[in-house]
A and B are shown apart, each in its own frame.
Chain A
Amino acid sequence: MSDLSPVVLVIDDEPQIRRFLRAGFDLEHFTVLEEETGEAGLRTATLRPLDLIVLDLNLPDMDGASIVERLRAWSTVPIIVLSVRASDADKVRLLESGADDYVVKPFSMAELLARARTALRRQARGAQGEPVVRLGSLTIDLAARAVFVESSRVVLSPKEYRLLQVLAQHAGNVVTHNILLREVWGARHMHNSHYLRILVRKLRGKIEQNPKQPRILVSELGVGYRLASDSEAR
């Protein structure tokens, strides 16, 4: 994997979509590979070292979620899914089968690039074991289990911290309600979605400048929560 120019594989059967994705990624100095079908995409993913996969949900030969599942059997490369119409249930299913993020068509290149950079940064941080996440005025030191707002330490309850930790590990990308419930309360409490709403409200009260207009802990209604990227949180 090149440090200078990240490699992105675009799997989409629409040539006009591939064309603007290539142009957009070129402007940001990505190396772009293209495939039209799920089969070809999976093959390329096994042959070439990749930093990112951008996958269209509606390919002619395979269902998007099953491509994600097959990729995840052996690869941790970040996957961003594009879809022209996805219900909340579809989004949840994709994220839980291992996609990192989704973008609904039509979208702007800037939006996709922001998601792509977030995914790449997280991957890099995971690889280097970088323990500190900074989002605007918020700093999360995962190694010391300490959270700071404007350099003053914030005291969180164990569950508040656990919630923030899980979100920070996916910083910038959505984590579904189910995954958060399982990680914070355990599989027994998967149906108690209101626990999560209440805990999020408490946590926002401690880390947001204005908890009613959250900029750090953002809700993706019907799907999950995500920590904003650093640029959004400022």
Chain B
Amino acid sequence: MRLVWGSNSLFGAAGTRTIGVLFALLLVAVVTVLLAAASALFPIEHVTIVYLIPVILAALRWGAVPALFAGISGIAFPAFFFYAPLYDFRVQSPAQVADIVLFVAVAAITGRMAVTVRHARMRAQAESLRDALIGSVSHELRTPLAAIVGSTSVLAQSPIVERDEHLSSLVRVVRKEAERLNGDIQNLLDATRISSEGIRPHLAWVDPEDVVSGALARKRHLLVDREVMLAVADDLPLIYVDPSLVESALGQLIENAAKYSPSQASMSVIARHSGKSIDIEVVDQGEGLAGDEVERVFDRFYRSPRHAGAVSGSGLGLWIARALIQASGGTIRAFSAGPGHGARFSITLPVDTQPASEDDADE
């Protein structure tokens, strides 16, 4: 991995600025020397335009303050060295005054643009650094986690542990917590993917039933004691989406419902067709949502103050679900009759014109 820091971060921001100012003045001096050498060969009248070069370079490389210094010295130097009276800061000719006014205007505009470009570049570098870090850290965490989950699964099967109720319950704890950690890492990876590259869906025709049963199978370990009622309408149309994205999003809703409702309470997963769309819903009998939470639950890092301490979570799950569904051209919404009355989360996906001819599919 390549680390990209701002220039001269060794010296801190103030040090960088001082160095920038010095370099900017040096650039102006160099330009002046070159102009002086040139003016010995042929007469030069309107020179200030050349002083735009140090301004733009300073703005791009060191930011606004050094650019300002380059601008001021870019007026002072020609006034002193090239404009009559020579070796005096006074300027008499109206043409040269106009020259300087023009210079100030152009320098202000281009300098500001260059500073904006520089900020954008720095922000992009910081973001790509952060994403690379998160990506590689997540990957590095997964490998030891694989060893933990694998090893505990072997322990759980070994006759000595199987015989001892205490030991086997400890092994189950390690296993369960490792799997939770794995889920958190997956969320972190998904969140990075969403914010860094955006999501590029791989579209295909999918049977919504497969999406529902896939998401349920993936979250089976969270639903062991729970009755899940499945109501999938007959003859649902095929949908043209990225199946992995929709399955992950639905998985997030199922996990959310399991997390915020009593472990024995039943849950329903409903899929139905209405007009030009299909709805996939997860209905729970859990803690419900209060007031504006039906909107805010989808915000990044939002956690309800009612259980921020009691139930662990990162506040990423529903935000990820919404990003995945939006990338699939759908919408996601939350409904609740209020705290204590359960919640209903609904994914709506557009139904395109169904693909041609089933007759061909089986003859």
Among B150, B202, B206, point to the contact of A109 (Cβ < 8 A).
B150
Question: Which stretch, B21-29, B141-149, B284-292, touches the partner chain A?
Answer: B141-149
A106 & B206 in contact (Cβ 8 Å cutoff)? no
The CA of A17 and the CA of B150, in the complex, are separated in Å by 8
Is A213 in the interface zone, CB < 8 Å from B?
A: yes
The CA of A23 and the CA of B159, in the complex, are separated in Å by 13
A222 & B243 in contact (Cβ 8 Å cutoff)? yes
Is B232 in the interface zone, CB < 8 Å from A?
A: yes
A94-149 contacts to B, CB under 8 A, are 105-111
B234 to chain A: closest CB distance in Å?
Answer: 9
CB nearest to B214 among chain A residues: A221
B144 & A199 in contact (Cβ 8 Å cutoff)? no
B230 & A27 in contact (Cβ 8 Å cutoff)? no
The CA of A201 and the CA of B361, in the complex, are separated in Å by 12
Among A24, A85, A192, A219, point to the contact of B214 (Cβ < 8 A).
A219
CB nearest to B235 among chain A residues: A201
The CA of A88 and the CA of B148, in the complex, are separated in Å by 25
Number of residues of chain A lying within 8 A (CB) of chain B? 39
Interface size class of B (residues with CB under 8 A): 35 or more
A25 to chain B: closest CB distance in Å?
Answer: 9
The CA of A111 and the CA of B153, in the complex, are separated in Å by 9
Is A62 in the interface zone, CB < 8 Å from B?
A: no
CB nearest to B243 among chain A residues: A221
A27 & B205 in contact (Cβ 8 Å cutoff)? no
Is A21 in the interface zone, CB < 8 Å from B?
A: yes
Is A197 in the interface zone, CB < 8 Å from B?
A: yes
A24 & B153 in contact (Cβ 8 Å cutoff)? yes
Cβ–Cβ < 8 Å partners of A27 in chain B: 154, 157-158
B324 to chain A: closest CB distance in Å?
Answer: 13
A106 & B146 in contact (Cβ 8 Å cutoff)? yes
The answer to whether A159 and B363 touch (CB under 8 A), given A84-B142, A85-B142, A200-B207, is yes
B330-358 contacts to A, CB under 8 A, are 354-355, 358
Cβ–Cβ < 8 Å partners of B204 in chain A: 193, 222
B63 to chain A: closest CB distance in Å?
Answer: 39
Cβ–Cβ < 8 Å partners of A157 in chain B: 362-363
The CA of A108 and the CA of B182, in the complex, are separated in Å by 13
B150 & A106 in contact (Cβ 8 Å cutoff)? yes
CB nearest to B358 among chain A residues: A198
Is A150 in the interface zone, CB < 8 Å from B?
A: no
Is A2 in the interface zone, CB < 8 Å from B?
A: no
Cβ–Cβ < 8 Å partners of A89 in chain B: 202
A84 to chain B: closest CB distance in Å?
Answer: 5
Is B151 in the interface zone, CB < 8 Å from A?
A: yes
- Residue of B158, B205, B361 with most chain A CB atoms under a 10 A cut-off: B361
- Residue of A109, A157, A202, A214 with most chain B CB atoms under a 10 A cut-off: A109
A106 & B157 in contact (Cβ 8 Å cutoff)? no
A-B contact pairs, 6 of them (CB 8 A): A21-B150, A24-B157, A106-B145, A106-B182, A159-B363, A195-B362
A sample of 15 more A-B contacts (CB under 8 A), given A16-B151, A107-B150, A213-B213, is: A16-B147, A20-B150, A21-B150, A85-B139, A105-B145, A106-B148, A108-B149, A108-B153, A111-B153, A194-B238, A194-B355, A197-B205, A198-B362, A214-B213, A219-B214
Query: 8 nearest interchain CB pairs?
Result: A108-B153, A106-B149, A105-B146, A194-B205, A195-B361, A219-B210, A16-B147, A106-B146
